[in-house]
Amino acid sequence: MKTALLMGVVTGLFMAIGCIIGLLLCGYFGVSPLYLAVVFAGLAVIVNGGVYTFSDRIMLRMYDTTVVSENIAPELYSKVSQLSMKAGLPMPKIGIINNESPNSFATGRAPENAVIAVTSGALSLLQRDELEGVLAHELGHIKNGDMFISTLAAVTASTVFLVKWLWTAESKGLFTQVRRLFLFVLVLPASLLIRLAVSVNYEFAADETGAKISEKPNALADALIRIEESVMETPMLLGNPAASHVFIVNPFKADTITHLLCVSPPLERRVQTLREMAHLSS
């Protein structure tokens, strides 16, 4: 249901963009707004099909992720294997994101083809128990079945948003007007798109499930604090704010656009909930 709604919103958004471009250009080139709306609707169908089929691969490519074997990362592979068995899940593929900012995400259409990706920064920064907590959190997303819709929303919003280009492009004249209108038209719908598809409860649920898998809620809480502190000093430069909800902690520099697109709950609430879990289980 959410997948169909997401694709419907994308189609409507593309048609609106086509109409707006047509209205802006009809006085200059005689372009019909209706014609461009139909053309952009066709583009939306292509985008929807591609994103639905390849969203996980797009995410991995977008964040420079290399899928590694047991021979390449034996210790990491062993940790994920043990946690997967405890969770009753098939062994996911493991990806290492070439980025010094510590973070992680899970992607894939189903548990059978899931990928857990962690940054090189997380592998070097986190303590053993903290890393296990992070890996268990990502397994929580897989077990709870929310990773695909989150990935789909992230890739779709990133595809239609193009905010980095729109925000930084240097231009004059007509293109400046088009750029500003695009920015207005795209930011709010992209934000709505993500908020329609992704529940703020996904992170709470993954925290809870992950803490039960690892049996170390305090370690996950410590990892969240350590990751956020590091991100504040060294935010991730690669990627798009529209995908911030996929990561265990928002990896991007805080600004107006990132705030609009972020649906993750406050980290303080997540840490408090995990501390309470640890207290109840002690």
Which residues have a catalytic role annotated?
138
Under 8 Å between Cβ of 276 and 186: no
For residue 52, the tally of other CB atoms under 10 A from its CB is 16
What the block records as the tokens of 37 is: 């709306």
- Token pair 């170390």 in the structure block, residue: 216
- Token pair 């292509």 in the structure block, residue: 46
- Measured between alpha carbons, how far is 52 from 204 in angstroms, rounded to an integer? 26
What is the phi-psi region of residue 228: left when phi exceeds 0, alpha when psi lies from -120 to 50, beta otherwise?
A: alpha
- Measured between alpha carbons, how far is 128 from 209 in angstroms, rounded to an integer? 19
Which stretches of the chain are assigned E, i.e. beta strand?
Answer: 65-68, 93-97, 104-107, 115-119
Residue 30: DSSP 8-state: -
Q: Where are the alpha helices (DSSP H) in the chain?
A: 2-29, 33-62, 74-87, 120-125, 128-144, 147-161, 163-168, 174-197, 201-214, 217-233, 256-261, 267-281
- Measured between alpha carbons, how far is 121 from 126 in angstroms, rounded to an integer? 8
3-state secondary structure at position 98 = coil
Got the DSSP string for 157-187?
HHHHH-HHHHHH----THHHHHHHHHHHHHH
- Token pair 């510590």 in the structure block, residue: 102
